[in-house]
Amino acid sequence: MWAAIAAMTLTIPLAACGDDDTSSDTTAANGGSESGSLFISGSSTVEPITAAVAKLFSDANPGVAVQVEGPGTGDGFAKFCNGETDVSNASRPIKAEEIETCTNNGVEFIELKVAVDGLSVITSSENSAIDCVSFADLWVLLGPDATGRNNWSDANDAAEELKASIGAQAGTINAPYPDASLSIVAPGEESGTFDSFIEYALAPVAELLGAEDDVPRPDYTASPNDNVIIEGISANATSLGWVGFAFVEENLDKVKPLQVDAGSGCITPSADTIASGEYPIARPLYIYVSVNKLEGNAALASFIDLYLSDEGMAVIGTGEGQVPYVPLATADLEESRSIWTARTTGTRVEG
């Protein structure tokens, strides 16, 4: 399994933590064509891809110390725009206020798409009562007005009201819901996956309702650590939450990905449905490269070269030993490569 391989060789686990114990530092005294260090932070969702590429890079360049951590997209951008990191992993595009911080601090960056993720809505693998949820279901169970609904059936009345208001525009409402405790474990506000869930699943319903607030209910167990989320979901048979596709694929013995209906029927998250755009919560994943750091660190350019190469991109996929996200379409990959080449012409430092 790719996660076990990464953990053993790079000590960069799949876990998404802001705690120093889950960061990874790979160092060697000699050998390789590059030297120096790289510090990469940000999205826990993108962290496994970057960790896998870092393993390849460290094998070829043991003289470079590579540290990869995953405290969350927002926390990663805070470090990046403060000039602390070389690369920032991101499960969403950088926000206007983050760009302003980078600009104020003189940090210039290059945005590169690297993969596609299907944000997966999950429950326990033991939950046989629920197989599909619509955006409308997610609104009454997880939306801003769902606070205090601690049993699935607590949302029945709200579901009927929503159905009368918007019909099936946000998917078929699957009420009445079971009479069972509703335990919610999901990413917190520091996570790009939190922002993506709002953008793709909750905001469309808010727009249909003319509601100003589309932020998830605050009374749930939030964690920046995807493995903590997986464990929390698996611990309660009638749980509900969301994480990135790769974390679900590696834990199908513990959690069950739910089909999602955005108005066109229930769609299972899979590599094929995510790649085709049929799955309604598919999103691009990014890395952001500091131009400032690039100018003083030859190893950084070499690392990004590897990342965007065929060898680097081959770490992504659903085969044995790969990170189970969806590779970029050829046109999107070539666009990232062209952006990288164009932005770094004349900027690189020779080692």
Which of 280, 315, 331 is at the close of a domain? 280
Best CA proximity match to 288, nearest among 94, 18, 57: 94
For residue 350, tell me if it sits in a domain.
no
% helix, strand, coil for the chain, step of 5: 40, 20, 40
Best CA proximity match to 322, nearest among 51, 127, 22: 51
pLDDT at 345: 77
For residue 349, tell me if it sits in a domain.
no
pLDDT at 35: 82
pLDDT at 27: 38
d(CA 320, CA 54): 18
pLDDT at 34: 79
103 lies in the same domain as 230: no
- For residue 253, what is the DSSP state? T
Which of 234, 255, 280 is at the close of a domain? 280
Which residues are CB-contacts of 39 (< 8 A; sequence separation ≥ 6)?
A: 67, 84, 85, 86
Which of 239, 262, 280 is at the close of a domain? 280
111 lies in the same domain as 157: no
Range of the domain at 230: 120-280
From edge to edge, which strands make up the β-sheet containing 132-134? 132-134, 259-261, 266-267
- Kindly calculate the radius of gyration of the chain based on its CA atoms and give it in whole angstroms: 21
272 lies in the same domain as 126: yes
pLDDT at 343: 86
pLDDT at 295: 86
pLDDT at 350: 47
pLDDT at 231: 97
Domain count, the chain: 2
Return the structure tokens found at 177. 């819901």
For residue 146, tell me if it sits in a domain.
yes
Low-confidence ranges of the chain (pLDDT < 70): 1-32, 346-351
d(CA 71, CA 46): 11
pLDDT at 296: 83
Return the structure tokens found at 57. 């890079």
CATH of the domain at 30: 3.40.190.10
pLDDT at 347: 56
Return the structure tokens found at 45. 């969702």
